[in-house]
């Protein structure tokens, strides 16, 4: 494992407790724990989506970091892909958590625009990782 991969994977693993805490928070919402009575069902759905995407995409980022050690792209392109894999879960989850509508019938916050931005970064990064393995 390269030093670059070691650092990026370490950062991803360090971020996992925040996802676990998010899961605890989500469970408290779903169980209607004290202090969460004002959460709407739409917000609950956004929080659930943000949490699920965070967990899955961080695991994908860890795998991608390991795969990039076999890449034949230049180091600057590999670093861009590494950062993209790390940033996309943050953008997508932040879009879900921060973009949740404040009321059941309200519009989503402008932070919801982070979701497609994160999806674009994720798409470019994952396509780049795949192509990097095919280039000889």
What confidence score (pLDDT) does residue 32 get?
A: 64
Q: Residue ranges of the chain with pLDDT lower than 50?
A: none
Choose among 88, 111, 106: nearest CA to 43.
106
121 contacts 88 by C-beta, under 8 angstroms: yes
Delimit the domains of the chain by residue range: 3-134
For 28: left if phi > 0, alpha if psi spans -120 to 50, otherwise beta; the answer is alpha
What confidence score (pLDDT) does residue 102 get?
A: 72
What confidence score (pLDDT) does residue 30 get?
A: 65
What confidence score (pLDDT) does residue 18 get?
A: 81
What confidence score (pLDDT) does residue 103 get?
A: 67
What confidence score (pLDDT) does residue 21 get?
A: 79
What confidence score (pLDDT) does residue 48 get?
A: 80
């Amino acid at each position: 494992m390269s030093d670059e991969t070691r650092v990026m994977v370490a950062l991803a693993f360090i971020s996992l407790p925040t996802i676990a805490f998010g899961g605890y928070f989500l469970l408290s919402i779903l169980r209607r724990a004290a202090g969460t009575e004002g959460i709407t069902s739409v917000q609950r759905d956004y929080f659930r989506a943000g949490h699920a995407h965070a967990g899955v995409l961080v695991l994908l980022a860890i795998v991608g970091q390991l795969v990039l050690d076999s890449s034949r792209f230049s180091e600057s392109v590999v670093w861009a892909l590494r950062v993209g894999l790390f940033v996309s879960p943050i953008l997508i989850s932040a879009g879900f958590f921060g973009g949740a509508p404040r009321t059941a019938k309200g519009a989503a916050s402008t932070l919801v625009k982070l979701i497609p931005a994160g999806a674009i970064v994720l798409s470019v990064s994952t396509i780049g990782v795949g192509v990097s393995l095919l280039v000889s």
